[in-house]
């Protein structure tokens, strides 16, 4: 790949990431009209819908490559990117035509906190709101730690498998991981609504600890990485759904839009940095050390979740 092609490729990846960010933000749209005790469940249905594309998408790579080469004479890797663009356009058209009226408009979320005009994005103000509300801080910590831990370990797992001669099972391990992220979302959402968002965050932290410990112990065998990556995805689901739901219910309604955007921006940025740095950490210290760092982060999340849960229960007993 020459330098000019690399520039366009990186630009394409940036735009592709913007689409992924929009897809992730759509979970909040499901909550706009949901009852307060059903918000986590409503969000979980959106994440569950991602299961089909995430699990079966890799299956379409080879056919897309073949059709691109045989039918259009494209280079081998062009077909899957064109197919992805087609699905993005289809999703855009579906939302533009069918999501009317906008749930946020119906719920009144487009009105500013002062009740005048329309909400305008303000990153600094959103972060100040989060920093001033304890539950919002816990929610953001859950989202960021879950994302960082998941991305760091998941990104280097295929590399680790290839180095130790298990490249053939890598797609299946990652598919199982993605299934853990999305397929059980409805159950995770029901758990969060029934037992509480803080409980969901704490469970997510415990699952991430178990996942990263197993990954660190895997060594050159692939056996432990199957359950490890599944638990990594499931722990991420608990942390993301619990954290996102807690964030929404913790901040004033007029500030939710900007707070949601700021939280996802920070979560995605930290996740991107985790993915970028994970390769250097693995090369310098090994996959086991990368997993151990994930364990430390997950333990921090467990402590945060349990401490906040305990203090909330004590406060209720005093009332």
- Report the pLDDT value the prediction gives residue 116, as an integer from 0 to 100: 47
pLDDT digits (tens, 9 = 90+) for 106-159: 766 565 545 544 556 688 999 999 999 999 999 999 999 999 999 999 999 999
- Report the pLDDT value the prediction gives residue 98, as an integer from 0 to 100: 87
Diameter over CA atoms, the chain = 72
Tell me the average pLDDT of the chain: 89
- Report the pLDDT value the prediction gives residue 319, as an integer from 0 to 100: 64
Residues 6+ apart with CB under 8 A from 186: 41, 44, 45, 48
Q: What is the pTM of this model?
A: 0.87
Structure tokens at 282: 């693995």
Backbone angles phi, psi at 311, to 5 degrees: -65, -35
Domains of the chain from N-terminus onward: 3-313 (1.20.1250.20)
Rounded to an integer, what distance in angstroms lies between the CA atom of residue 48 and that of residue 293? 29
Q: What is the CA radius of gyration of the chain?
A: 21
Nearest to 156 by CA among 298, 291, 20, 21: 291
pLDDT digits (tens, 9 = 90+) for 191-239: 999 999 999 999 999 999 999 999 999 988 889 999 999 999 999 999 9
- For the stretch 78-83, contacts whose Cβ atoms lie closer than 8 Å and that sit 24 or more positions apart, written own/partner, are 81/12
Q: How far is CA 316 from CA 42, 198, 309, 310, in A?
A: 27, 15, 11, 10
- Report the pLDDT value the prediction gives residue 220, as an integer from 0 to 100: 85
**The three-state (H, E, C) secondary structure of the chain, written as one string:** CCHHHHHHHHHHHHHHHHHHHHHHHHHHHCCCCCCHHHHHHHHHHHHHHHHHHHHHHHHHHHHHHHHHHHHHCCCCCHHHHHHHHHHHHHHHHHHHHHCCCCHHHHHCCCECCCCCCECCCCHHHHHHHHHCCHHHHHHHHHHHHHHHHHHHHHHHHHHHHHHCCCHHHHHHHHHHHHHHHHCCHHHHHHHHHHHCHHHHHHHHHHHHHHHHHHHHHCCCCCCCHHHHHHHHHHHHHHHHHHHHHHHHHHCCHHHHHHHHHHHHHHHHHHHHHHHHHHHHHHHHHCHHHHHHHHHHHHHHHHHHHHHHHHHHHHHHHHC
- Report the pLDDT value the prediction gives residue 2, as an integer from 0 to 100: 65
In this model, does residue 247 exceed pLDDT 80? yes
């Amino acid at each position: 790949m020459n330098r000019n092609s690399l520039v366009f490729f990186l630009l394409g990846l940036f735009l592709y990431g913007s689409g992924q960010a929009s897809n992730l933000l759509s979970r909040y749209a499901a909550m706009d009209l949901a009852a307060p005790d059903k918000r986590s469940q409503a969000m979980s249905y959106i994440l569950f819908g991602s299961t089909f594309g995430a699990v079966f998408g890799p299956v379409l790579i080879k056919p897309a490559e073949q059709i691109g080469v045989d039918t259009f004479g494209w280079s081998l890797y062009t077909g899957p990117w064109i197919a992805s663009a087609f699905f993005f356009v289809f999703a855009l058209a579906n939302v533009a035509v069918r999501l009317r009226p906008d749930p946020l408009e119906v719920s009144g979320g487009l009105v500013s906190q002062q009740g005048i005009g329309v909400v305008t994005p303000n990153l600094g103000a959103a972060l100040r709101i989060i920093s001033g509300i304890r539950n919002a801080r816990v929610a953001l910590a859950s989202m960021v730690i879950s994302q960082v831990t998941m991305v760091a370990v998941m990104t280097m797992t295929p590399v680790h498998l290839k180095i130790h001669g298990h490249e053939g099972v890598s797609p299946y391990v990652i598919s199982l991981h993605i299934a853990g992220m999305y397929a059980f979302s409805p159950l995770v959402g029901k758990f969060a609504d029934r037992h509480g968002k803080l409980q969901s965050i704490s469970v997510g932290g415990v699952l991430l600890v178990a996942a990263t410990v197993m990954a660190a112990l895997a060594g050159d065998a692939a056996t432990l990485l199957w359950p490890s990556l599944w638990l990594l995805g499931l722990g991420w689901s608990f942390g993301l759904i619990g954290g996102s739901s807690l964030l929404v219910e913790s901040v004033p309604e007029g500030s939710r839009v900007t707070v949601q955007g700021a939280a996802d921006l920070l979560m995605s940025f930290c996740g991107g940095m985790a993915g970028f740095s994970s390769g250097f950490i693995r090369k310098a210290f090994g996959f086991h050390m990368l997993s151990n760092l994930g364990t430390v982060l997950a333990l921090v999340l467990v402590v945060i979740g349990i401490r906040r849960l305990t203090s909330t229960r004590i406060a209720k007993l005093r009332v």
